[in-house]
Amino acid sequence: MRLEDQTVVITGAASGIGQATAERCAEEGAHVIVTDIDTEGGQAVAEAIEESGGEATFYELDVTDSEQFHAVVDAVADDDGLDVMINNAGTGHPGGSLEELGDDIRDFVIDINIKGVWNGCHAALPHLKAQGHGAIVNVGSLASILGLPKQSAYSMSKGAVLNMTRAVAAEAGPYGVRANTVCPGFTETSLLEQYLEEQADPEKAREQMIEQYPLKRLAEPEEIADAILFLASEESSFVNGHGLVVDGGFSA
């Protein structure tokens, strides 16, 4: 198993890509630390993993709270060690031109998508560097490499995630710690459903979205989880500072 006896912390693991990643990591032998601001959902994911024979522990975590983030990661590292930090928690925002978006939306997106990832790296790196090995996987987006119209705050935040990951990779590499980003295309999650519901004709919007993908479908959370698992495992032992695009050919 690719993550046997390793401890993996995952943020935003109560649903979507985070949940799928938690389940895949557990299947590969990891002790999964499920974290989310959604206590009920996060506990349900951890319990389901345990019931299926895996090992999981839930911690309530608001990724925008640096002090809480450090406390959770320090507790995990002290009790179980720390091998992989997966910064998955993220948010989007209603579509709108840059000048239409208010400061409140901008700041909300920055707090979760940028500061949340920063907090995860900041909390995990001292432990990973001290032991001389480990991996960080940050979840970006197609918006990490493409500017999405009507999504300026989201595009800004996800572009920052990719470039911050490169900086972390350059700094932490000499200590044996790798950092990479997964950049998914549109994925069948509740975040996507929220986006579609904001459109005048959600079903037509979905059809138009699918038409832009050469594979003529959107990603499933498990497919993104497989890419995250690859970057978390030793199968990617010489991959560092990379943005792995998983978009069914959209950006091609």
Q: Any idea which residues carry the catalytic annotation?
A: 154
Q: How far apart are CA 81 and CA 219, in angstroms?
A: 33
Give the three-class secondary structure for 2: coil
Q: How far apart are CA 185 and CA 156, in angstroms?
A: 16
Cβ(20)–Cβ(222) below 8 Å: yes
Query: Measuring CA to CA, which residue among 139, 146, 136 is closest to residue 161?
Result: 139
Q: What is the DSSP letter of 146?
A: S
3-state secondary structure 196-233: HHCCCCHHHHHHHHHHCCCCCCCECHHHHHHHHHHHHC
Cβ(164)–Cβ(118) below 8 Å: yes
